[in-house]
Chains A and B, each alone.
Chain A
Amino acid sequence: MKIMTCPVNGPRAISEFAYGGEIRSMPDPATCSDDEWADYVFNRNGSPGVKREWWCHLPSNTWFVAERDTARDVVLRTYLYEGEG
């Protein structure tokens, strides 16, 4: 089974984790247009490549960020979320 490394709990089988999707920044709901909002809600960056994703280590309920190449299914880096950027 593939290994995912939780920044707190260390390397574990990926079955111990939940995938939370790509990290996307929310437009300001007060100022964005309906189309911008719909784009945020539904559209995804579906092409293969390196993505910043939410992952959760389930036994400890630890959410963190994984940078993963979705074309090769290789985890490049994981770290705790510290904000955008």
Chain B
Amino acid sequence: MRLPAQPGEWIDRTTPLGFRFEGRDYTGFAGDTVASALAAAGVSMLGRSFKYHRPRGLLSAANHDVNAMMQWGGMPNLRADATPLAAGMDLEAVNTFGTLERDAGSMLGHLSRFLPVGFYYKAFHGKRLFPLWEKMFRAMTGLGKVDFSAPRQRTPKRYGFCDVLVVGGGTSGLAAALSAAEQGAQVALVDENARLGGSTQGASELVGKVLAHPRIRVFTDTYAAGYYADHWVPLVERERITKMRARAVVVAAGAFEQPAVFRNNDLPGVMLASGAARLIRRHAVQPAGRIVLLAANADAYQALADFIRAGIEVAAVVDLRGTLPSEQRALPAAHDIPLFAGHCILEALPSSDGRRVAGVKIAPLGQTQAIAELACDGVFMSVGWAPAAALLYQAGTKMRYDAGIEQFVPEKLPDGVFACGRVNGVHTFASRLLDGERAGSAAAAHCGLGGAKPIAVPTETDSPTHPWPIVPHPEGKNFIDFDEDLQLSDLENAIQEGFDNIELMKRYSTVGMGPSQGKHSNMNALRVLARATGATPGEVGTTTARPFFHPVPMSHLAGRGFTPERRTPMHALHEAAGAVWMPAGAWQRPEYYAIHGLTREACIEGEALAVRQGVGLIDVGTLGKLEIRGPQAAEFLERVYVSKYAGLKTGMTRYAVMCDEAGVVIDDGVIARLADDHFYFTTTTSGAAAVYRELSRWNTLWKMDCGIVNLTGAMAAMNLAGPKAKQVLTGLTDVDLSLPFLAVREGNVCGVPARLMRAGFVGEWGVEIHVPAEHGARVWQALMQAGQAHGIRPFGVEAQRLLRLEKGHIIIGQDTDGLTTPGEAGLDWAVKMDKPFFVGQRSLAIIASKPRPRQLVGFMLPADHAGPAPQECHLVIDNGDIAGRVTSIAWSPALQRHIGMAYVKPGMDAAGSTFAIRLSDKTLVSAEVAKTPFYDPDNLRQKEEA
């Protein structure tokens, strides 16, 4: 029922919003939550419980009501108590079979006697039957549904900075924010509610001051999802996350009001007093007409005043405490409300349809015989609190159990972390103000802003929390965990079975593992364990409080999802030429250039043929390109590569292999000597960044007289190759093209400074042309244009792979793996063990003394091979055992054979011998070990000085 206007109410009565729930139309107001609008319309059953499908309603109205989860289109698991009402919402309760009203799943409630804690561990595991049971379980499990048509949402994320972050905008948080700001701190104040002020009335004056303060940024409707190292706290707003870096953090997160445990304490209409008060104050909703108030602290009587003011009839106050302060007795007395001190609610009684509380049975505490039965449609509970200490735990706070207030409180806070208010064990309004001021001032002082005010906060005289708000009942249904439908006996039974450690009890019973992550169950569960094992709650301890405080949507966590892409200067030209792209790390490289009407294979073969017979051009700009200068440059290179470079002539290049300290091949490239003290060299595409970084580290360690410059992005590079390449280049360059094989020259190409390296990777006369990136596209275009008359084709990675295979050149990472030594890969010739030192040398010396486990060899399939050819990584089989694997294989248009490389066992590597390769369908294919290069074995074509 909607109440008349309440002072400071959050709803806007001029903006009605229509929505649907379970197929029925309702109207609420802007400012309502889904749950408050439904409560106003008299709907008390909002969902069904996870296991037994019992009717459930509001509990906290504070974003913890996981039994009131709803589905709206593609949005699963909306919490009705925290989701703002929007016009046109069409909501359904999650996890019902049929409808919320008629939920076939509710029959499970009748089976609960068969389904004690951990029942699923004790049956259903027959080997043949389990899959069938599992199917049934899977049909029952889960909450909301995912909608496969829901689009990806890219929500922005941002970084934020402040001096003092205050988490919690209640009384103590407001006071902390103000006191820190007044000392000069830039403050961020976060509260998960739509408005500041917390759950207590009386802070409105503070709210005004905070909102007006120039140094306080307020984030309402925002929660701190977790505390991470160095005061890094993600603030989850509705539309984004702000990752806040603070210099100090004040946790003023308050406390969760805790339910009492009695039979049927989960009936709709049974709720926390603070939740009922929220509905009244914020949404002007009267949650019940006639209630019984279950009390055990001063907060209960403050709430009682609210309830009376809202016109709720209070049938009785049942107080767990035998004696209570006279000022608390005064209020019920003044309104002729019967007060049952030292009593408990033995059980709540359901209405005839079972969907709402209809009465309670009251008994003296500790007795099982009811002395009174009262009719009511609401039971409001205020029996105690548990600190919202998740952030404090995550920050590494040491907590202790304060028996005086029956609560865990911070004992030792980490540097720069402060706590105040209820989470700090301070509950009285005036004390919370003081405690907030103290913490805010100390936090500002931590940032070097002013001194920490010496404020003494009085200790609580009256415990706000009852040590044992738990009432056993032989019939059970006294729930400790509403998420997981766990009753008191479930925990007792788990303990009986030996799960008598808080973490084991949690894992076995699943207490606290549901969507509310134990906010309303952990404390009572801990008390049950403490009592059963004769320990104090402090000795039992809490379970680890892991992030997140509330679940966070993946869209928010993902944010935009930056995936940077790297493009060579010729990217657009490749695109225009029909490049089919393949990813190479962050780069995109042309795999081949598509020609309309031709297959992929035909395109690749055509490109290869162009290189063999005419001329081709490939973009090799993704290779790492480094420069090293200085008197010790040659010595440095000799230390990090396996070959020698001191004797390399200026104007010449040499192949380079790099090993790690274990002697494993990790990279290769070409080193060009431009001057005595000046080298330019390449690395693999994938290794570029790591090689540059590692060389820099070696140089930091060795302090040699040389410097390394990374030119990977600054230089464009392309390889022009083929019998007609020289003709293409003639006229475009001032470099004398009669330069010998493996020579390097600096000169001009198309009028821009260039480095030309005579390379043989693809086995034809070829030259790698390196120019500053800004000129790359122009040079490429000029070459393509000049090549037109010679039938030039751009070629991609696949054609290059084929061409190099014909030449027997290996590709690091394809023909090597994470354990390949140079010898295994046939690179012994490059390794100079007679150098004083190189990385990996000592390991290779040890390895050389042991039998070599495998050898990379070239192979050919018989010329008349028919049927499917092996693929890369098909196994070499010898006498039924694995003897190696194929690393590369291709159909060679030049040789008209399948050629490849494979690892084989020692002794199988003699040229002309045969071995078997097993295909995926288990047929064996015979291959003959062949000498490489397969094509132009004497390397005449690439050396040819035409």
Direct contact of A and B (CB under 8 A): yes
Size band of the interface chain A makes with B: 20 to 34
Given A61-B693, A63-B697, A29 and B837 touching (CB < 8 A)? yes
Q: Is the CB of A61 within 8 A of B692?
A: yes
A residues in contact with B843, CB < 8 Å = 37, 41
Check: A69 CB closer than 8 A to any chain B CB.
no
B162 to chain A, nearest CB (A): 15
Q: In whole angstroms, what is the CA distance A38 to B844 when docked?
A: 11
Q: Is the CB of A73 within 8 A of B697?
A: no
Q: Is the CB of B697 within 8 A of A56?
A: yes
Check: A81 CB closer than 8 A to any chain B CB.
yes
Q: Is the CB of B228 within 8 A of A41?
A: no
Residues of chain B from 642 to 694 with CB closer than 8 A to chain A in the complex: 661-662, 692-693
Bitwise, A18-59 to B at CB < 8 A (1) or not (0) is 101000000001001010011011100000000000101010
Check: A71 CB closer than 8 A to any chain B CB.
no
Residue in B232, B697, B710, B846 with the greatest tally of chain A CB atoms within 10 Å: B697
Q: Is the CB of A63 within 8 A of B230?
A: no
Given A63-B700, A73-B229, A41 and B662 touching (CB < 8 A)? yes
B residues in contact with A41, CB < 8 Å = 661-662, 843
A81 to chain B, nearest CB (A): 5
Residues of chain B from 190 to 207 with CB closer than 8 A to chain A in the complex: none
Q: Is the CB of A37 within 8 A of B701?
A: no
Q: In whole angstroms, what is the CA distance A1 to B837 when docked?
A: 41
Q: Is the CB of B693 within 8 A of A29?
A: no
A residues in contact with B661, CB < 8 Å = 40-41
Residue of A nearest to B710 (CB): A61
Q: In whole angstroms, what is the CA distance A37 to B134 when docked?
A: 54
Q: In whole angstroms, what is the CA distance A40 to B230 when docked?
A: 34
Q: In whole angstroms, what is the CA distance A41 to B814 when docked?
A: 25
Q: In whole angstroms, what is the CA distance A29 to B229 when docked?
A: 41
Check: A3 CB closer than 8 A to any chain B CB.
yes
Q: Is the CB of A81 within 8 A of B700?
A: yes
Bitwise, B489-520 to A at CB < 8 A (1) or not (0) is 00000000000000000000000000000000
Q: In whole angstroms, what is the CA distance A3 to B228 when docked?
A: 11
Residue of B nearest to A58 (CB): B693
Q: In whole angstroms, what is the CA distance A38 to B850 when docked?
A: 14
Q: Is the CB of B696 within 8 A of A81?
A: no
A residues in contact with B243, CB < 8 Å = 1
Q: Is the CB of A38 within 8 A of B846?
A: yes
Q: Is the CB of B662 within 8 A of A20?
A: no
Residue of B nearest to A32 (CB): B842
Q: Is the CB of B842 within 8 A of A56?
A: no
Q: Is the CB of A2 within 8 A of B229?
A: yes
Q: Is the CB of B662 within 8 A of A54?
A: no
Residues of chain B from 239 to 295 with CB closer than 8 A to chain A in the complex: 243
Bitwise, B838-857 to A at CB < 8 A (1) or not (0) is 00011100100000000000
Given A38-B846, A61-B692, A63-B696, A81 and B232 touching (CB < 8 A)? no
B706 to chain A, nearest CB (A): 15
Q: In whole angstroms, what is the CA distance A3 to B692 when docked?
A: 24
Q: In whole angstroms, what is the CA distance A32 to B700 when docked?
A: 24
Residue of A nearest to B837 (CB): A29
B241 to chain A, nearest CB (A): 13
Bitwise, B690-717 to A at CB < 8 A (1) or not (0) is 0011001100110100000010000000
Q: Is the CB of A34 within 8 A of B846?
A: yes
A residues in contact with B837, CB < 8 Å = 29
Residues of chain B from 570 to 588 with CB closer than 8 A to chain A in the complex: none
Residue of B nearest to A82 (CB): B703
B residues in contact with A34, CB < 8 Å = 846
Q: Is the CB of A56 within 8 A of B662?
A: no
B661 to chain A, nearest CB (A): 5
Q: Is the CB of B841 within 8 A of A29?
A: yes
B416 to chain A, nearest CB (A): 12
Residue of A nearest to B662 (CB): A41
Given A29-B841, A61-B693, A63-B700, A37 and B228 touching (CB < 8 A)? no
Q: Is the CB of B846 within 8 A of A61?
A: no
Residue in B696, B700, B701 with the greatest tally of chain A CB atoms within 10 Å: B700
Q: Is the CB of A20 within 8 A of B697?
A: yes
Q: Is the CB of A2 within 8 A of B697?
A: no
Given A29-B841, A63-B697, A81-B701, A3 and B230 touching (CB < 8 A)? yes
Bitwise, B82-119 to A at CB < 8 A (1) or not (0) is 00000000000000000000000000000000000000
A residues in contact with B228, CB < 8 Å = 1-2
Residue of B nearest to A34 (CB): B846
Residue of B nearest to A38 (CB): B846
Residues of chain A from 60 to 84 with CB closer than 8 A to chain B in the complex: 61, 63, 73, 81, 83
Q: Is the CB of A37 within 8 A of B693?
A: no
Q: In whole angstroms, what is the CA distance A20 to B843 when docked?
A: 20
Residue of B nearest to A20 (CB): B697
B636 to chain A, nearest CB (A): 15
B689 to chain A, nearest CB (A): 9
A residues in contact with B692, CB < 8 Å = 61
Q: Is the CB of B696 within 8 A of A61?
A: yes
Q: In whole angstroms, what is the CA distance A27 to B792 when docked?
A: 55
Q: In whole angstroms, what is the CA distance A40 to B839 when docked?
A: 13
B413 to chain A, nearest CB (A): 16
Q: In whole angstroms, what is the CA distance A54 to B841 when docked?
A: 23
Residue in A56, A63, A81 with the greatest tally of chain B CB atoms within 10 Å: A63
Q: Is the CB of B693 within 8 A of A18?
A: yes
Q: In whole angstroms, what is the CA distance A58 to B697 when docked?
A: 12
A residues in contact with B696, CB < 8 Å = 56, 61, 63
Q: In whole angstroms, what is the CA distance A74 to B662 when docked?
A: 31
Q: In whole angstroms, what is the CA distance A34 to B697 when docked?
A: 25
Residue of B nearest to A65 (CB): B700
Q: Is the CB of B230 within 8 A of A2?
A: yes
A residues in contact with B710, CB < 8 Å = 61
Q: In whole angstroms, what is the CA distance A41 to B661 when docked?
A: 6
Residues of chain B from 215 to 248 with CB closer than 8 A to chain A in the complex: 228-230, 232, 243
Q: Is the CB of A54 within 8 A of B230?
A: no
Q: Is the CB of A37 within 8 A of B230?
A: no
Q: Is the CB of B842 within 8 A of A29?
A: yes
Q: CB within 8 A of B662: which of A32, A42, A58, A63?
A: A42
Q: In whole angstroms, what is the CA distance A61 to B230 when docked?
A: 24
Q: In whole angstroms, what is the CA distance A61 to B701 when docked?
A: 14
B246 to chain A, nearest CB (A): 12
Q: CB within 8 A of A37: which of B697, B700, B703, B846?
A: B846
A residues in contact with B230, CB < 8 Å = 1-3
Q: In whole angstroms, what is the CA distance A83 to B497 when docked?
A: 59
Residue of B nearest to A63 (CB): B700
B474 to chain A, nearest CB (A): 50
A82 to chain B, nearest CB (A): 9
B residues in contact with A40, CB < 8 Å = 661
Residue of B nearest to A84 (CB): B701
A residues in contact with B701, CB < 8 Å = 81
Q: Is the CB of A54 within 8 A of B697?
A: yes
B residues in contact with A37, CB < 8 Å = 842-843, 846
Q: In whole angstroms, what is the CA distance A2 to B245 when docked?
A: 10
Q: In whole angstroms, what is the CA distance A38 to B700 when docked?
A: 24
A33 to chain B, nearest CB (A): 10
B409 to chain A, nearest CB (A): 23
A70 to chain B, nearest CB (A): 13
A29 to chain B, nearest CB (A): 4
7 smallest CB-CB distances across A and B, nearest first, come from: A29-B842, A63-B700, A2-B229, A3-B230, A34-B846, A37-B842, A63-B697
Q: List 10 A-B contacts (CB under 8 A).
A: A2-B228, A3-B229, A3-B230, A20-B697, A29-B837, A29-B842, A56-B693, A61-B696, A63-B697, A81-B700
12 other contacts beyond A1-B228, A1-B243, A61-B693, with CB at 8 A cut-off?
A1-B229, A1-B230, A2-B229, A3-B230, A37-B842, A40-B661, A41-B661, A56-B693, A61-B710, A63-B696, A81-B700, A81-B701
